[in-house]
Amino acid sequence: GDGGDGGNNGRLLRKDGNPPFDEALGGGGIYNLGSMTMTNSTVNGNNTGAGGNGGPSGAGGEKNTGSNTFQSSGRAGWGGGGGRGGGLLNGSWHQGSITLQNVTITGNLTGNGGAGGAGGGGATSTLGGGKGGIGGDGGGIWAQGSHDNVTLLTHATIVKNFLGVAGPGGGSANGSAGPGVRGVGAGIAVGGRYNPSGAGVYLKNSLISANGFSGNPTFDKNCSQFQPVTSYQEFVDQGSNLSYPLDGSPCPGQTNVDPDLGPLGDNGGPTRTILPQPGSAAIGGVPLGSCTVTTDQRGNPRPGSDGSCDIGAVETDGSTTLTPTTTSLVSSLNPSTVGQQVTFTATVSPPPSSGTVAFSDGGTTVAGCGSAALKPGGQFTCSTSFPTAGTHEIFALYTGNSLFAGSVSLTYDQIVNGPAAKAKISKNTVIGPSRAKKGSKPTFTAKITNGGNAAATGVNLKVTGGGANISKKVGGIPAGSTKVVKVAIKLNQAGRKTFTFRATSANAGSKSTTKTVTVRRPKRHRH
């Protein structure tokens, strides 16, 4: 059979293809069938149930034909619909009437559609799989269309609520059935109408923003109604509303200007709230004559000192009392050497919700560290190296945000030493004759250079090849100096001889060079 519907039933798929509304139940956080008033509250983190999976085809299933003949095999069940109204459901078809004032609805989710049942497995089976269920509608609010009673919102903030996805269709030997469809109305969805007059949702001084995922513009709109807007207008604009983005939905007060809202957090008062950031279009968006509610969700007075009210559940008074911060700074390695990587860590206390840190060296921004991002625990990091030796005066500047004040660290003295002293045999040159007589003992001069900035110790010169095997002790060579070593080599064999002069050391490496000598036989004299 068909799968059950999620969370007090969701939206069913009717066999005639028409949208049904009789089983439009759900309500993840609140399920209202009576008369209800809610003030100074936050509805957050609720979800409705997912639709049940359809049963597979088989004996006892629904008959696949309209005849009264007994049939032992039935079609696969369709997936159930996800529950509607992730945050709140108002069932006006049961005379439900709800008033929301100074209320924040955020972070709620409707259930997913159930999977369609599997069809017949035989190659000759004509029984296809069941169709997938429909995702739940109304991520923040599901409200039935006008039935003498309404959903009234004043100074409400409805932000970042989400919809359930469609259930997959069931498979069969003849292919898979189609999936359901995604839910609609990520912020507010309004359903079927039972009364030809009136409307479903009335909004005043309310803010609806960034509900749903931007990758699903057809379904994930801030507002959605099932009846054509040319026939019925379920959303009534009572003034000073703001809806972002401009998504073509029936939400009032649509704009393409981002209201720039902060995260849900502790901004004073008994509940968590969402504050517009400085410069937001929501600030001062309600004229003084429309400021009929004297306090905001936190209990702060309306209007603010600027003589107007803010759109949404909270009043900023045009400014926000900032939480003071302190910034401390440490280094991963101090002292360091030229060219060596060092990581600086700035810690902002108390840990802020956002913002960046700029690291400076003597008033000049450190390359790549002008806008370090926030990490857990209020930390910001900068990794760099210094090309010059000396004391570098480092400080970190936290920019602050709409809730946390900026701050700057004390100056941190990073000591950078010059390159470490190191000896290095950089040159080994040899001069001497390139031709000589057999039996002679020419002298070759080796010049060994220490190109390092430390003294080379334990230097030796060894000559091999061409019949030679000679070792000479050179000793130490001061930094930047050259030592001359003379070596006499007895030439006992005629021919082309190549000698290798290899200078080695205890701390400066080694260097080799070669010298080729043509050894000729002595001339014979006749007597």
Sequential DSSP letters for 411-426: PEEEEEEPPPP---EE
pTM higher than 0.75: no
Cα 59 to chain centroid, rounded: 50
Token pair belonging to 457: 């110790």
User: What CATH fold (topology level) applies to the domain 425-520?
Assistant: Immunoglobulin-like (2.60.40)
Q: 349-369: b or e for each residue (b if 16 or more CB lie within 10 Å)?
A: eeebeebebbbbbeeeebeeb
CA–CA separation, 241 and 237 (whole Å): 7
Cβ 242 vs Cβ 208: under 8 Å: yes
Taking only the tens place, the pLDDT of each residue in 308-347 is: 999 999 998 755 567 899 999 999 999 999 999 999 999 9
Q: What share of the chain is helix, strand, coil (3-state, %, to 5)?
A: 0, 35, 60
pLDDT(113) > 60:
yes
Residue given tokens 């309404």 in the structure block: 150
CA–CA separation, 92 and 54 (whole Å): 29
Mean pLDDT, rounded, for 282-290: 93
CA–CA separation, 299 and 40 (whole Å): 8
pLDDT(449) > 90:
yes
pLDDT category at 145 given cuts 50, 70, 90 is: low
pLDDT category at 146 given cuts 50, 70, 90 is: low
pLDDT at 72: 38
Half-sphere exposure of 524 (CA within 13 A, CB side): 2
pLDDT at 174: 60
101 φ, ψ (degrees, to nearest 5) = -135, 130
CA–CA separation, 25 and 418 (whole Å): 74
pLDDT at 123: 45
In the chain, which segments carry CATH 2.60.40.10?
A: 326-417, 425-520
Taking only the tens place, the pLDDT of each residue in 225-241 is: 887 877 778 899 999 99
pLDDT category at 508 given cuts 50, 70, 90 is: very high
pLDDT(255) > 90:
no
pLDDT at 63: 44
Token pair belonging to 85: 């109204």
Cis peptide before 278 (omega within 30 of 0): no
Instruction: State how beta strands 364-365 and 357-361 pair.
Output: antiparallel
Taking only the tens place, the pLDDT of each residue in 79-109 is: 777 888 999 988 766 567 899 999 999 999 9
What is the percentage of the chain residues whose pLDDT exceeds 70? 83
Token pair belonging to 437: 């007589």
For residue 5, the tally of other CB atoms under 10 A from its CB is: 31
Cβ 111 vs Cβ 102: under 8 Å: no
- The highest-confidence range among 53-57, 321-325, 503-507, by mean pLDDT, is 503-507
pLDDT category at 441 given cuts 50, 70, 90 is: very high
pLDDT category at 147 given cuts 50, 70, 90 is: low
Give the architecture (CATH level 2) of 326-417. Answer: Sandwich (2.60)
* CA dist 256 → 243, 248, 312, 354, 495 (Å): 9, 11, 17, 24, 92
pLDDT at 12: 41
CA–CA separation, 101 and 39 (whole Å): 5
Cβ 504 vs Cβ 495: under 8 Å: no
pLDDT at 74: 58
pLDDT(75) > 50:
yes
Assign 377 to helix, strand or coil. helix
